[in-house]
Structure 1
Amino acid sequence: MKKITSRASLVAGLVAASTVQAIELNDNLSLLIDVEVVSDYRSRGQSQTLGDPALQAGATLFHSSGLYAMVWTSNLDFGNGLKTRQELDYLGGYLWQINDDISLDVGHAKYTYPRSSQLNYNETYAVLSAYGFKAATQYADNYEGNQSYMWNWVGYDTKLPYDIDVSLHYGVVDYKDDVLVSNSGKTRQRYDEWVAKISKDFIGATWSLSYVDTDISKAECSNLMGYDDLCSATLVAGVKKSF
């Protein structure tokens, strides 16, 4: 069975950034628009574009109370005869900003796939941020229509000299079923994924380079995704423009 993994709901940083980068609509509402090009759309360590580039865009409406709503889209290609070539996500939540260094972001996301609606699913998430550290959990109970999964992860963001941003991430994805199958027939339901990312603002855009990897073997990836090269280590380059 092919497993789809969609964009992570890492909206805490995005929503927080909207308070300083976004267009102020009035005293209570602000709007942040992001457009990004990446060399590969990776989500939870797995390619969503068969290793090809993606154009992604999102818009977040943020209220001074902490409530927000977001829509996000990307091109994708799952292969395996699936017709969808787009992911369209809708998110809504609340960001509780305890102080400048501590926040809690809770919300709900709906992931949709035009022309392949059987892949649509919902996800609930919570992200705690404190002094650069992050801890999160994300849960879906209707993944591919009949399955649940849980994704727990931790991260750390910091800034180096010359205004270079560094983001480290480690997560564990649990499908709740033994969907990872090796060549020997051994099965498991969990896998690890990790990302190391550097980025820098330059000439009006944010340029980034990420190292993305998982502990999924080629055989497990082939049985899971239908291809054996979509879960291996890779470098992902990106450039983002915010309005």
Structure 2
Amino acid sequence: MRRITLLALTLAPLACQALQLSDDFTLQIDLNLASDYRTRGISQTQNDPAAQAGATLIHSSGLYAGAWTSNVDYGFGLKTRQEVDYYAGWYWQATDAVSLDLGYLKYTYPRESQFNQSEVYAILGAYGFKLAAQYSNDASNIFGEKQDTLYSYLAYETRLPLELGLELRYGRMDFKDPMFWSTSGESEDDYHEWEAKLTRDFVGVTWGLAYVDTDLSEAECASNFGFTDVCTATWVASVSKSF
């Protein structure tokens, strides 16, 4: 499941680096290699590395549309090994410090369409802080039925000495139906996740190191995702390039 938190919040600053197609259109290309594909705290690759790429067409009005892909691995002999996402939205920058991003995102999984779902999102940025919500009404629960979900988060980004970037996020993933069971048999319909990431530009690319964790126990993790270690704390190293 694509990390829209990174895509939309960087559209404005990256637009100046993107490929200029005409007076009104630019094309932004994003490439990323990571030691694990974690989104909302959960590994999408069984803690294995991921190669990711995306392209976004941006209009001077703030409208944009694009596609993004990554390898995935959900285990259990599932046929899909790829996630392909399509998105469109509108990015409005009120001032240099205040912005609003509204959009629609479609997740697709070749050969395993039962995982396909869509979301609408709103992301407010102000003075380094971001407040966001992403809502879906067609996410699958563990019984294969559709349900409503809401992912919300608060994030903060700043620059540190030594040309380091710092990104912090605390999020809550809320499901309509119970999704997680503890060893005592108690069920939960939400969980919290967080990430702290340091970045630095060097030799033309951006290097990153992130600490990612959730408040799910191993039993709760296994009850929904089938494995105990895809929700646990981990370090994720990455190298990315945008142009």
Could you say which residue in structure 2 is the equivalent of 1:137? Answer: 133
1:74-223 pair list within 5 angstroms: 74-144=70-140, 146-223=146-223
Deviations 1:41-77 (A, max 9, x none): 0010000000000000011111000000120000010
Distance 1:174 1:139 in 2: 10
Matched, 1:22 2:14: no
Structure 2-normalised TM-score?
0.96
Structure 1 vs Structure 2: percent identity of aligned residues?
Answer: 52
Q: In the TM superposition, what is the alpha-carbon distance from 1:80 to its structure 2 partner?
A: 1.7
Q: In the TM superposition, what is the alpha-carbon distance from 1:82 to its structure 2 partner?
A: 1.2
Q: In the TM superposition, what is the alpha-carbon distance from 1:130 to its structure 2 partner?
A: 0.3
Aligned partners of 2:54 and 2:68 also within 8 Å: yes
Distance 2:46 2:228 in 1: 10
Kindly provide the amino acid, as one letter, of the partner of residue 115 in structure 1: R
Matched, 1:230 2:230: yes
Distance 1:29 1:110 in 2: 23
Distance 1:17 1:131 in 2: 14
Kindly provide the amino acid, as one letter, of the partner of residue 82 in structure 2: Q
Distance 1:123 1:135 in 2: 16
| Unpaired runs of at least 5, structure 2 | none
Q: In the TM superposition, what is the alpha-carbon distance from 1:178 to its structure 2 partner?
A: 1.1
Aligned partners of 1:88 and 1:111 also within 8 Å: yes
Matched, 1:7 2:2: yes
Distance 1:18 1:159 in 2: 16
Q: In the TM superposition, what is the alpha-carbon distance from 1:9 to its structure 2 partner?
A: 1.4
Q: In the TM superposition, what is the alpha-carbon distance from 1:21 to its structure 2 partner?
A: 1.1
Secondary structure of 1:40 counterpart:
coil
Deviations 1:59-106 (A, max 9, x none): 111100000012000001001221100000000000011011100000
Distance 1:19 1:72 in 2: 17
Q: In the TM superposition, what is the alpha-carbon distance from 1:12 to its structure 2 partner?
A: 2.4
Deviations 1:191-231 (A, max 9, x none): 00000000000000000000000000000001110000100
How many residues of Structure 1 are paired with residues of Structure 2 in the alignment?
238
Aligned partners of 1:15 and 1:68 also within 8 Å: no
Superposition misfits of 4+ residues, deviation over 3 angstroms: none
RMSD of aligned C-alpha atoms? 0.9
Deviations 1:164-199 (A, max 9, x none): 100000001001111110011011101000000000
| Unpaired runs of at least 5, structure 1 | 1-5
Could you say which residue in structure 2 is the equivalent of 1:241? Answer: 241
Distance 2:160 2:50 in 1: 28
Q: In the TM superposition, what is the alpha-carbon distance from 1:7 to its structure 2 partner?
A: 1.7
Bigger drift between 137-146 and 93-102 goes to: 137-146
Secondary structure of 2:9 counterpart:
helix
Distance 2:139 2:8 in 1: 23
Could you say which residue in structure 2 is the equivalent of 1:3? Answer: none
